[in-house]
Amino acid sequence: MEVRSQGSGVGGQRCVITISDSGPGIAPEDLTRIFDPFYTTKEKGTGLGLSIAQNIITAYGGSIEAESVLGQGTQFRVVLPV
């Protein structure tokens, strides 16, 4: 896993946090739903973690996006105003 952050925008008005891994990746059909409440591909998962994270991030005026390639890993990009 790798975590990076950077300031960007005029005067560094945004903080960009990138979280990536080299795991199995997320299937395209699952990637479109990972932020949906109660959506999970895990036997014991609740499907609430990413939904709650997205709600908190958007409440602070930010955004979260995910990109994934099967067999290569997943990358989440969080952008927050500062």
Q: Which domains does the chain have, with CATH numbers?
A: 2-81 (3.30.565.10)
The structure tokens 């109660």 sit at: 38
Q: Going edge to edge, which strands form the sheet with 14-20?
A: 2-8, 14-20, 73-81, 63-69
∠ Cα 12 65 75 (to 5°) = 95
Q: What is the pLDDT of residue 4?
A: 65
Distance CA 1, CA 65 (A): 17
pLDDT tens-digit map of 10-27:
666 888 899 999 999 999
Q: Tell me the mean pLDDT in the region 48-74.
A: 97
Q: What is the pLDDT of residue 13?
A: 82
- Predicted structure pTM score: 0.84
Q: Beta strand pairing status for 73-81 and 14-20?
A: antiparallel
